[in-house]
Structure 1
Amino acid sequence: MVWHMIIVSTDGSCLRNPGGAIGWAWVNHEGPSRAGGDRSGTNQIAELRALLEALKAHPGPEPMIIESDSQYAIKCASEWLPGWKRKGWKTATGAPVKNLDLVQAIDRVLAERSGPVRFRWVRGHVGNHFNELADKLAGEAARAQAAAPIASATEPAGPEPTAAPARPEPTAAPARAAKKAVRRTVKVVEEVEEVEEVELTLF
């Protein structure tokens, strides 16, 4: 069976490299496209993310060509990746691979995809329609991220804790009642003693 070749152009944008808002985009040469972004990043992150999202959006058995004007992204996904993987994700000098999470994600998607993938570098900003469109979409996505309001990091305050009800202060009334009861008891005892004395005098 002869499969139809898929060709996708990708591009990334960073408004202030490094640390500014980033945008990424891919454009299928037959029409579909997609773009997105993040609050901060680098040019390299944006280019790798564009490539990764293009791969994830085309998981089928069809042969695929990804075009990018980023030599870094192209070499990461094709030339450098196998050697990094053999060395335990270290470069030739033994340094850790930069943007490792994205590089490993690209490696996984390539391994899972049944159809072959080739990467092709194209010169940017020379009138290539699909490259220019991907560049435009990535730039718009980055600007949208930069303009988006930043969500507040503070949680809404909950209700103020209520104080435990205060215990009523003891009043003087019970104490006065107790004193009266004692006096009545003493009086009764005295009266009983007087009665006994009277009875004794009668005998």
Structure 2
Amino acid sequence: MIIVSTDGSCLKNPGGAIGWAWVDHDGPSRSGGAVSGTNQIAELWALVEAIVAHPGAEPLLIESDSQYAIKCASEWLPGWKRKGWKTASGGPVKNLELVQDIDRAITERSGPVRFRWVRGHVGNHYNEIADKLAGEAARAVASTPEKARPWAGLGPRQSPIPPAAAPAPAAASPAPAAAPVRQPEPEPLLTLF
């Protein structure tokens, strides 16, 4: 099973620069951001990126400290889809494009995807790394806004948005020597910056 921690960051919620990040517990990580958004957008964006970056048949477990993101992906999404992308009260689904991209990414992935909520800021190693990377991505976008673009959506069969321009930090805990580090399959990427 692949386990990935995700997180989102917003420097000024709503409307400030946002950052997203995912960290594979066996090695790689990615992050990126946009000039403006909300914390909820950043959290959902991180989920999409994590799912698309892990396309294989091996089961994928995504951990997030965002109950909103977890519930969107695992509880609310099926009902919204059945109701023509409307909420239980008949209103519009917030962050619909990202929710639909999560649905598409889950549907197109060959293996199952599960989600688990974890408490944030209590020393969970991988959650703390994802939090740090998301914050760094948001700050990087805020300092160079001319290089950033908002979420462009996956669209039908498009690839994920690449990591932020800054190099990713080394993995916090290396894999045991006997176990190879699992790398996502290379895919063509869209440009974020």
TM beyond 0.5 = yes
Q: What percent identity do the matched residue pairs reach?
A: 82
Aligned to 1:86: 82
1:127 to 118, 123, 129: 123
Aligned to 1:99: 95
Paired with 2:78 and 2:58, the residues of 1 have a C-alpha distance of 23
Q: CA deviation at 1:120?
A: 0.1
SS at match of 2:50: helix
SS at match of 1:143: helix
Paired with 1:137 and 1:12, the residues of 2 have a C-alpha distance of 9
Spell out, residue by residue over 1:101-151, the C-alpha distance to the aligned partner (whole angstroms, 9 max, x if none). 000011011111110111000000000000000000000000000000537
TM-score, normalisation: structure 1: 0.71
The answer on 1:110 being equivalent to 2:111 is: no
Relative to 1, partners in 2 of residues 1:91 and 1:31: Cα closer, same or farther, differing over 3 Å? Answer: same
SS at match of 2:99: helix
| Higher percent of residues as helix | 1
The answer on 1:140 being equivalent to 2:116 is: no
Which is higher, the Rg of structure 1 or of structure 2? Answer: 1
SS at match of 2:140: helix
* 8 Å contact from structure 2 (residues 51, 105) kept in 1: yes
The answer on 1:52 being equivalent to 2:48 is: yes
The gaps in structure 1 that reach 5 residues or longer are 152-203
Structure 2 letter corresponding to 1:96: P
Spell out, residue by residue over 1:164-183, the C-alpha distance to the aligned partner (whole angstroms, 9 max, x if none). xxxxxxxxxxxxxxxxxxxx
Aligned to 1:65: 61
Spell out, residue by residue over 1:20-71, the C-alpha distance to the aligned partner (whole angstroms, 9 max, x if none). 0000000000010000000100000000000000001001100010000000
Aligned to 2:16: 20
How many aligned positions are there? 147
Structure 2 letter corresponding to 1:79: E
1:7 to 3, 7, 11: 3
Paired with 2:145 and 2:40, the residues of 1 have a C-alpha distance of 25
Paired with 1:117 and 1:89, the residues of 2 have a C-alpha distance of 21
TM-score, normalisation: structure 2: 0.75
Runs of 4+ deviating beyond 2 Å: none
Paired with 1:37 and 1:134, the residues of 2 have a C-alpha distance of 13
RMSD: 0.8
Structure 1 letter corresponding to 2:78: P
The gaps in structure 2 that reach 5 residues or longer are 148-193
2:26 to 8, 27, 30: 30
Paired with 1:89 and 1:6, the residues of 2 have a C-alpha distance of 30
Structure showing greater relative contact order (alpha-carbon pairs closer than 8 Å, 6 or more residues apart): 2
SS at match of 2:146: coil
